Structure 1
Amino acid sequence: MVCRVSGILLAVASAAAVGGCGGEGGPTSPPPPGPPPPPPGPTIGASLNLRPGEVHVLSERDAIRAFEIQGAAEGREYQVIVMSASLSEGRTTPLRVRARADDVSPNVVPNARTNRSGRDAAIPPARGLAGELRPDRDWHLRQMIETERELRRLRARPAEGIGRASRGLAAAVSDVPRVGDTLTVRSAIVPGGGVQCTANTPIKSTVRTVGEHFIIVEDDRLAGRFTEEDYADLDRELDEFIAPVSHEYFGEPDDLDGNQRVIAFFTGEVNRLSEPESGSVVIGFHWIGNLFERENCPASNEAEIVWLIGPDPDAEFGIEIGVDFVKRVARSLVAHEYQHLLNASQRLGGQRGQDTWGNADLWINEGLSHVAEEVTGFYRQGLRVRGNYGYTELIAGDPDLVAFRDFFEGNLENAREYLSATTEFNPLALNNNTLDFATRGWGYVFVRWFGDRYGPAGPGGIVAGSGEAALYRELAVGGPGYLFGYENFLRAAEVVAGETTTWGDVLAEHFAASAADDAHEALPDGAQFSTWNWPRLWEELRTAGVRGLTGGDPLRRRIIQMGAGVSSTDEFDLGSSTARYYHLRAAGGHPSMIVETTIASGGNVPNSAEARIIVVRTR
Structure 2
Amino acid sequence: MLEEARTTRRTLIQLAAVLIAPVVACSGDRPAGPDPLASCGDRATQITLAVGQYVSVDPASDSGCVTFPANAAADSAEYLVVPQSVAGASGRTATFQLRGGAVGATAPLVASVQAPPAWGASVATTFDAFRRSLARRRSYTMPAARRPSLAATGVTGAVATGPPALGALGSFTVCDTLNCSSFKNVGARVKAVGAHVAIYVDTLAPTPGLDSADLDTLKQVFDSRLYPLDTTAFGGVSDIDANTVVIVLMTGVVNKLVPRSSQCASASFVAGFFFPGDLDPAFASRFNQGEIFYSIVADSTGTLSCPHTATEVKRQTPSTFTHEFQHMINFVQHVLVRRGQSEEGWLDEGLSKYAEELAGRSYLPGDPATFTRYAIDPVYDAYQYLSATGSYPLEIPEDTGKIGEIGASWLFTRYLVDQFGDSLPHRLVNSALSGSANVAAQTGQPFATSLTNWALANWVSDLPGFTAPPQLRYTSWHFRTTYQSLHSQDPGDFLLPFPLVPKASSGDAITLSGVLQSGSGLYQRALQRGGAAGFGLLFAGAGGAPLPLAVAARLNIIRIR
Category of TM-score, reference length = shorter chain:
0.7 to 0.9
1:53 aligns with 2:36: no
The CA distance in 1 between the partners of 2:173 and 2:240, in whole Å, is: 15
- Residue by residue over 1:60-83, the C-alpha shift from the partner in whole angstroms, topping out at 9 and shown as x without a partner, is 632732322532420333211112
Aligned ranges 1:357-396 → 2 under 5 Å = 357-358=341-342, 361-382=344-365
Mapped pair 1:410 → 2:377: yes
Structure 1 match to 2:20: none
- Check 1:590–1:254 CA distance in 2 against 1; reply closer, same or farther (3 A cut): same
The secondary structure found in structure 2 opposite 1:90 is: coil
Contact kept, 8 Å, 1:101 with 1:593, in 2: the verdict is: yes
Inter-CA distance 81–168: structure 2 relative to 1 (3 Å threshold): same
Match of 1:449? 415
Q: Cα offset for 1:348?
A: 3.1
Choose from 450, 454, 457 the match for 1:510. 454
State the match for 1:18 in structure 2. none
In the TM superposition, residue 446 of structure 1 has moved relative to its aligned partner by 0.7
Out of 308, 311, 315, the residue aligned to residue 298 of structure 2 is 311
1:512-531 Cα deviation digits (max 9, x unpaired): 11121122654221111111
- Could you report, residue by residue, the CA deviation over 1:158-209 in whole angstroms, capped at 9, with x for unpaired residues? xxxxxxx99534779772223222222222x23x42325xx45321111121
Which of 180, 187, 196 aligns to 1:195? It is 180
Paired amino acid for 1:448? R
Counterpart in the other structure of 1:281: 269
Q: Is the 2:95–2:113 Cα contact (8 Å) retained in structure 1?
A: no
Residues 605 and 203 (structure 1 numbering): CA distance in 2 closer, same or farther, change over 3 Å?
Answer: closer
| Post-superposition offset of 1:560 | 1.9
Q: For the residues of structure 1 that align with 2:528 and 2:479, how far apart are their CA atoms?
A: 23
TM norm structure 1: 0.75
Aligned residue for 2:238?
Answer: 254
| Equivalent in the alignment of 2:556 | 614
**Retained in 2: the 8 A contact 1:167–1:302?**
no
Match of 1:584 in 2: 526
Which residue in the other structure is 2:428 paired with? Answer: 475
Q: 1:440–1:276: structure 2 CA closer, same or farther, 3 Å change rule?
A: same
Query: Could you report, residue by residue, the CA deviation over 1:521-548 in whole angstroms, capped at 9, with x for unpaired residues?
Result: 5422111111111222222222333651
Contact 2:274 2:292 in 1 (8 A): yes
CA distance in 2, matches of 1:83, 1:528: 18
The one-letter code of the counterpart of 2:351 is L
Contact conserved, 1:59 with 1:612, CA < 8 A, in 2? yes
Q: Distance in 2 between matches of 1:380 and 1:503?
A: 33
Question: For residue 195 of structure 1, what is the amino acid of its counterpart?
Answer: C
C-alpha distance in 2 between matches for 1:57 and 1:569 = 20
Q: Is the 8 A contact 1:70 1:592 kept in 2?
A: yes
**Aligned-pair distance for 1:609?**
3.4
| 1:259 match: secondary structure | coil
Larger Rg: 1
Q: Tell me the distance in 2 between the aligned counterparts of 1:65 and 1:547.
A: 42
**Which residue, 431, 440, 445 being the options, matches 1:490?**
440
Structure 2 counterpart of 1:581, which letter? Y
Deviation at 1:218, TM superposition (A): 1.0
Residue matched to 1:109: 108
- The 3-state SS of whatever aligns with 1:596 is strand
State the distance in 2 between where 1:48 and 1:70 align.
Answer: 11
SS at match of 1:206: strand
Matched residue SS, 1:537: helix
Separation (CA, whole Å) in 1 of partners of 2:70 and 2:529: 15
Q: 1:524 to 1:148 in 2, by over 3 A?
A: closer
Structure 2 length normalisation: TM-score?
A: 0.82
SS at structure 2 position matched to 1:230: helix
Unaligned runs of 5+ in 2: 1-38, 143-151
Distance 1:307 1:63, change over 3 A: same
Q: Which residue number corresponds to residue 240 of structure 1?
A: 224
Render the CA deviation track for 1:88-112: whole Å, top value 9, x for unaligned. 542322211013454xx73473879
Q: Is the 8 A contact 1:292 1:300 kept in 2?
A: no
Which stretch of structure 1 is more off in the superposition, 508-517 or 108-117? 108-117
> Counterparts of 1:431 and 1:311 in 2: how far apart (Å)?
31
Query: Letter of the aligned partner of 2:554 in structure 1?
Result: R
Q: 1:596 to 1:283 in 2, by over 3 A?
A: same
- For the residue of structure 2 that corresponds to 1:381, the secondary structure is coil
Spell out, residue by residue over 1:127-181, the C-alpha distance to the aligned partner (whole angstroms, 9 max, x if none): x9xxxxx762321112331465454798xxxxxxxxxx99534779772223222
The 1:541–1:213 alpha-carbon spacing in structure 2 relative to 1, beyond 3 Å, is same
Structure 2 partner of 1:302: 289
TM-fit CA distance, 1:247: 1.2
Map of 2:319 onto structure 1: 332
* Cα distance between partner residues in 2 of 1:357 and 1:373: 24
Aligned: 1:426 with 2:393: yes
Instruction: Give the Cα–Cα distance (whole angstroms) in 2 for the partners of residues 113 and 276 of structure 1.
Output: 44
CA shift in 2, pair 1:217/1:70, >3 Å: farther
CA contact (8 A) 1:95 1:599 kept: yes
Quote the residue 2:485 is aligned against: 540
Task: Describe the shift of the 1:236–1:417 C-alpha distance in structure 2 as closer, same or farther (beyond 3 A).
Answer: same
Deviation at 1:475, TM superposition (A): 0.6
- Mean Cα displacement is larger for which, 362-371 or 409-418? 409-418
Match of 1:211 in 2: 194
* Partner SS for 2:41: coil
What fraction of aligned residue pairs are identical, expressed as a percent? 22
Gap change, CA 1:522 and 1:85, over 3 Å in 2: same
Q: Residue 70 and residue 609 in structure 1: after superposition, are their counterparts in 2 closer, same or farther (change >3 A)? A: farther
Give the secondary-structure state (helix, strand or coil) at the position aligned to 1:234: helix
Deviates more, 1:214-223 or 1:504-513: 214-223
- Do the aligned partners of 1:167 and 1:256 also contact (CA within 8 Å) in 2? no
Structure-2 residue corresponding to 1:346: 333
* Residue of structure 2 in register with 1:142 after alignment: 130
Structure-1 separation of matches of 2:259 and 2:386:
29
Which residue of structure 1 aligns with residue 149 of structure 2? none
Q: 2:545 aligns with which of 603, 611, 618?
A: 603
Report deviation, 1:604.
Answer: 3.6
